[in-house]
Chains A and B, each alone.
Chain A
Amino acid sequence: MKAALILANGTVFHGRAIGALEDRVCEMVFNTSMTGYQEILTDPSYAGQGIVMSYPLIGNYGVNSEDNESGRPWAEAFVVRHLSPRGSNFRCEDTLDNYLKANRISGIEGIDTRALTKILRSQGTMNGMITCAEHFNIMDVLDKLRAYRVQGTVERVSTEEAYTVPAVGEAHYKVALMDYGMKRNMAQCLAKRGCTVTVCPAHTPASQILAGGYDGVMLSNGPGDPADNTEIIAEVRKLYDSNLPIFAVCLGHQLLALATGAKTRKMVFGHRGGNHPVKDLAAGRCYITSQNHGYVVDADTVDSAVATVSHVNVNDGTVEGLLYRRPRCFTVQFHPEAAPGPMDTEYLFDRFIASMGGTTNA
Chain B
Amino acid sequence: MPKDPNIRKVLVLGSGPIVIGQAAEFDYAGTQACRALKEEGVEVVLVNSNPATIMTDKDIADHVYIEPLNIYSVTQVIEIERPDAILPTLGGQTGLNLAMALHEDGTLAKYNVRLLGTSPESIRKAEDRQGFKDCMEEIGQPCVVSDVVENVDDAVAFADRIGYPVIVRPAYTLGGTGGGIAYDELSLREIADRGIHLSRVGQVLIERCIAGWKEIEFEVMRDSAGNVIQVCSMENIDPVGVHTGDSIVVAPTQTLANKEFQMLRTAALDIITALKIEGGCNCQFALNPDSYEYAVIEVNPRVSRSSALASKATGYPIAKVAAKIALGYTLDEIPNAVTGKTSACFEPTVDYCVLKIPRLPFDKFTTASRTLGTQMKATGEVMAIANSFEGALMKAIRSLELNVRALRLAKLEDLYTDEIEDLLVNVTDERLFVMAEALRRGFSPRKINHITKVDIWFLERFRNIIDMENALTRCKGAPDADTLRRAKEMCFADSYIGWLCGMQQKEVKALREQYGIIPSFKMVDTCAAEFDAETPYYYSSYDGENEAIATDSGKPKVLVLGSGPIRIGQGIEFDYCSVHSVWAFAKAGYETIIVNNNPETVSTDFDVADKLYFEPLTAEDVQNIVEQEHPDGAVVQFGGQTAIKLAQALTDMGVPILGTSSDGVDAAEDRERFDAILQKCGIPRAQGKTVFTVQEALAAAHELGYPVLVRPSYVLGGQGMEIAYNDRNIEEFMRIINMTVQEHPILVDKYLMGRELEVDGVYDGEDILIPGIMEHVERAGVHSGDSIAVYPPLHLEEKHKALILQHTRNMARELGVLGLINAQYILYNDDIYVIEVNPRSSRTIPYISKVTGVPIIDLATQVMLGRKLKDLGYGTGIYREADYFAVKAPVFSFEKLTDVDTGLGPEMKSTGEVLGIAENYPQALLKAFKGAGLRVPKRGGRIIATVKDEDKPELLSIARGFYEMGVEIIATSGTCDYLINNGIPCRRVNRVSQAHPNILDMIGSGTVDLVINTPTKGRRQDTDGFHIRRASVEHSVGCVTAIDTAKALLMVREQSRSEQLVPLDITAI
Contacts and interface: CB of A to CB of B under 8 A. Distances in A.
A57 B262 contact: no
B256 interface: yes
B238 interface: no
A342 B457 contact: no
Interface string A110-123: 11111101100110
Given A117-B528, A285-B226, A286-B331, A90 B290 contact: yes
Nearest to A64: B257
B258 A340 contact: yes
B393 to A, nearest CB: 13
Nearest to B251: A34
Interface stretch (B344-352, B472-480, B931-939): B344-352
B347 A57 contact: no
A88 B460 contact: yes
Contact of B262 (A82, A87, A115, A340): A340
B227 A285 contact: yes
A273 interface: yes
A91 interface: yes
Interface in B444-475: 455-457, 460
A57 B349 contact: no
A121 B530 contact: yes
A273 B529 CA distance: 12
Nearest to A61: B257
Interface in A43-93: 54-57, 60-61, 64, 66-67, 81-82, 84-91
A30 B545 CA distance: 17
B488 to A, nearest CB: 13
B528 A114 contact: yes
B348 A275 contact: yes
Query: Interface range on chain A: under 10, 10 to 19, 20 to 34, or 35 or more?
Result: 35 or more
A86 B389 CA distance: 15
A54 B522 CA distance: 13
Nearest to B346: A277
A115 B544 contact: yes
Interface in B305-346: 330-332, 341-343, 345-346
Interface in A85-106: 85-91
A60 B254 contact: yes
Contact of A34 (B252, B259, B266, B456): B252
Contacts of A287: 227
A339 interface: yes
Given A34-B252, A89-B257, A275-B346, A343 B266 contact: yes
B347 A90 contact: no
A88 B351 contact: no
Nearest to B269: A344
Interface string B253-265: 1111111011001
The interface centre, meaning the residue of A34, A88, A113 with most chain B CB atoms within 10 A of its CB, is: A34
Interface string A159-197: 000000000000000000000000000000000000000
Contact of A338 (B230, B262, B531): B262
Contacts of A279: 332
B332 A54 contact: no
Contacts of B331: 286
The interface centre, meaning the residue of B227, B253, B261, B529 with most chain A CB atoms within 10 A of its CB, is: B529
A35 B261 contact: yes
Contact of B255 (A60, A66, A314, A344): A60
Nearest to B390: A82
Contacts of A86: 456-457, 460
Contact of B256 (A35, A57, A85, A315): A35
Interface in B199-232: 225-230
A358 interface: no
Given A56-B353, A275-B349, A288 B543 contact: no
Interface in A19-58: 30, 32-36, 38-39, 54-57
Contacts of B353: 56-57
B876 to A, nearest CB: 53
The interface centre, meaning the residue of B342, B346, B528 with most chain A CB atoms within 10 A of its CB, is: B528
A67 B332 contact: no
Interface string B554-571: 000000000000000000
B528 A57 contact: no
Given A54-B530, A115-B544, A286 B345 contact: yes
A274 interface: yes
The interface centre, meaning the residue of B289, B349, B388, B455 with most chain A CB atoms within 10 A of its CB, is: B349
A88 B455 contact: yes
B351 A54 contact: yes
Contact of A277 (B225, B343, B456): B343
A277 B526 CA distance: 14
Contacts of B265: 342
B258 A81 contact: no
B528 A54 contact: yes
A117 B350 contact: no
Nearest to B351: A54
A110 to B, nearest CB: 8
Contacts of A66: 259
Contacts of A87: 457
Interface string A243-262: 00000000000000000000
A98 B664 CA distance: 61
A4 to B, nearest CB: 14
A281 B615 CA distance: 43
Contact of B346 (A64, A85, A288): A288
A55 B262 contact: no
Contacts of B531: 121, 315
A341 interface: yes
Given A117-B530, A286-B227, A57 B254 contact: yes
B387 interface: yes
Contact of B230 (A36, A115, A122, A288): A288
B291 interface: yes
A170 B47 CA distance: 60
A35 B269 contact: no
Contacts of B330: 286
B349 A111 contact: no
Given A90-B290, A286-B227, A286-B331, A60 B258 contact: no
Nearest to A34: B252
A313 to B, nearest CB: 10
B214 to A, nearest CB: 10
A274 B331 CA distance: 18
Given A54-B530, A88-B460, A114-B545, A61 B346 contact: no
A276 interface: yes
Interface string A338-352: 111111100000000
The interface centre, meaning the residue of A67, A273, A287, A314 with most chain B CB atoms within 10 A of its CB, is: A314
B388 A32 contact: no
A55 to B, nearest CB: 6
Given A114-B545, A117-B529, A56 B351 contact: yes
B23 interface: no
B435 interface: no
Nearest to B260: A89
Contact of B342 (A274, A315, A341, A343): A315
Interface in B842-886: none
Interface of B: 225-230, 233, 252-259, 261-262, 265-266, 269, 289-291, 330-332, 341-343, 345-353, 387-389, 455-457, 460, 522, 527-532, 543-545
14 contacts: A30-B530, A32-B349, A32-B351, A32-B528, A36-B258, A55-B349, A56-B388, A118-B529, A277-B346, A279-B332, A286-B227, A288-B347, A315-B341, A339-B258
Name the 3 nearest CB pairs between A and B, nearest first: A112-B544, A36-B258, A88-B457
